[in-house]
Structure 1
Amino acid sequence: MVVVVRQGDQQTDGAAEAFPAVASIDAEPRFRAVTSKSGERRGIRLEGIYWDALARVSAETGLSLAELIDHAVNQLPDNGNLASWLRVLAVKWSISRLAHAENVASSDRLNALVQASPIPTVALTRDKRLRFFNEAFLTMLRQRLSLPNVTQLTRGLRFSVETQIADAIAVLEANPGRPLATGFSVSCGGATLRGQINIALAPDCEQQMVLGYVSRY
């Protein structure tokens, strides 16, 4: 698998594939009777996706579903509709969590992780491009490929790993918390450098990427 260096490229292909499919069960209304701590019984009908979202809110906040609904009732304006209010609560919580995740897993933060690494480190996109690399990576190339000119290093450079990126992502997703070791090679100006690299899933919400830490060269 050959990777062409174009640092800063954005992935555009396959964006539609990342859009979640909606199952009929997500939109199917479900009726539930919920009893509050005070003993008041409320019958509520919501689409399945909203019950799923409220279950996530309950798990994250430590509140029971009954307590969560009591909280919503206390916020409900006069003549307000409880079911609609719960839908708004579920969506607002989801948007808040998404904003937090996007902040934590932004490309800028990923680049900071790459730059902070003391060893040669790269970020590879699913479509086989070097998204980020650090100064230690450039230093390795200068020393081992004898190319002092940075322009030579970033033009015509071919970076290949023995494991396909898509396959690496599948293995890493199936084994969370465990990196994948594989071989790599870098070619430029007729010279080639080979070694070992440890790959882990990159914390980036914009596109699927892996972080590669060179362990031996």
Structure 2
Amino acid sequence: MTFSERHLAQTDQVDLNPAAMQHVDESDAEPKFRAVVGRGGVRRGIRLESIYWDGLSWLLNGSRQSIGDVVEQAAAQVGGHSNLASMLRVVAFRWMWRRLAHMENVYSTENLNTLIQACPTPAIVLTKDKKIQFFNEPFMTMLKQRLVLGNIAQLSSGFRFVLDTQIDEAILGLAGKGKMVTTGFTATCAGKQLTGQMNLAMAPSHQKQMVIGYVVRG
């Protein structure tokens, strides 16, 4: 693993697989009829694809609103001469779109970098392709002190950082499971070597899979 001149890897966007995006389960597209009662007691029969019913239920999870409330609001918007089912599809998509935009903002690389910089102990972010995405000042201080470096410029040439655990294997074990992996690491530069241990956790980022490494012994 080599530091670039700026010591940071470039941020990549998520690589979306077109084939995966185009695949739709038959059950998702299957229309389902439901009778929904609004707060005013008005009963409406609505036919929507299963994925929209599921999406609305998921978005309303933990909310004080019900499907009946959403239908009532949508009906008020379209009036008596428009397609209520179409309006509900728009409502579901817009709601999901806004939720996605909010989450992408929260889990941005900028916020991830802030999280690393705020950590008082040595910490780095590693990409799946074994590049250092971010690091904080305590991490740099550790390297300079333990590798006896005169200045940061020495890290631009011949610096290597290797984990005892393969990053892709660590990501596979960490993704979506709320777990932590402890692994050893080795940093070398100018003939000097530093070994230690760090705890790995999944980095909160929507753009690509990365891990945060917190040094616990170095």
TM over 0.5: yes
Q: Secondary structure at the match of 2:120?
A: coil
Aligned residue runs from structure 1 range 111-190, under 5 A: 111-173=113-175, 175-176=177-178, 178-190=179-191
Q: Residue 109 and residue 18 in structure 1: after superposition, are their counterparts in 2 closer, same or farther (change >3 A)?
A: farther
Deviates most, 156-165 or 60-69: 60-69
Q: Residue 56 and residue 12 in structure 1: after superposition, are their counterparts in 2 closer, same or farther (change >3 A)?
A: closer
Deviates most, 133-142 or 24-33: 24-33
Give the aligned partner of residue 47 of structure 1.
49
Distance 1:15 1:184 in 2: 32
Aligned residue runs from structure 1 range 25-104, under 5 A: 25-77=27-79, 79-104=81-106
How far 1:147 sits from its partner (Å)?
1.7
Give the aligned partner of residue 208 of structure 1.
209
Structure 1 vs Structure 2 CA RMSD: 2.1
Aligned length: 214
Aligned residue runs from structure 1 range 10-29, under 5 A: 10-11=11-12, 14-16=15-17, 20=21, 21-29=23-31
Gaps of 5+ in 2: none
How far 1:181 sits from its partner (Å)?
1.2
Q: Is the 8 A contact 1:122 1:131 kept in 2?
A: yes
How far 1:78 sits from its partner (Å)?
5.2
Q: Residue 46 and residue 34 in structure 1: after superposition, are their counterparts in 2 closer, same or farther (change >3 A)?
A: same
Alignment partner of 1:199 is 2:200: yes
Q: Residue 17 and residue 191 in structure 1: after superposition, are their counterparts in 2 closer, same or farther (change >3 A)?
A: farther
How far 1:13 sits from its partner (Å)?
8.3
Distance 1:119 1:18 in 2: 43
Distance 2:163 2:61 in 1: 40
How far 1:117 sits from its partner (Å)?
1.1
Distance 1:25 1:95 in 2: 22
Give the aligned partner of residue 8 of structure 1.
9
Q: Is the 8 A contact 2:14 2:208 kept in 1?
A: no
Q: Secondary structure at the match of 2:61?
A: helix
Distance 1:154 1:199 in 2: 25
Q: Is the 8 A contact 2:56 2:92 kept in 1?
A: yes
Q: Which amino acid aligns with 1:4?
A: T
Q: Is the 8 A contact 2:29 2:50 kept in 1?
A: yes
How far 1:144 sits from its partner (Å)?
0.9
Gaps of 5+ in 1: none
What CA deviation, in whole Å up to 9, does each residue of 1:123-164 have, x standing for no partner? 111121110011111111111111222122133221111222
Q: Residue 89 and residue 29 in structure 1: after superposition, are their counterparts in 2 closer, same or farther (change >3 A)?
A: same
How far 1:12 sits from its partner (Å)?
5.9
Distance 1:109 1:205 in 2: 11
Distance 2:150 2:31 in 1: 65
Q: Which amino acid aligns with 1:195?
A: G
Distance 1:141 1:119 in 2: 13
Q: Residue 146 and residue 62 in structure 1: after superposition, are their counterparts in 2 closer, same or farther (change >3 A)?
A: same
Deviates most, 82-91 or 140-149: 140-149
Q: Secondary structure at the match of 1:4?
A: coil
Q: Residue 106 and residue 57 in structure 1: after superposition, are their counterparts in 2 closer, same or farther (change >3 A)?
A: same
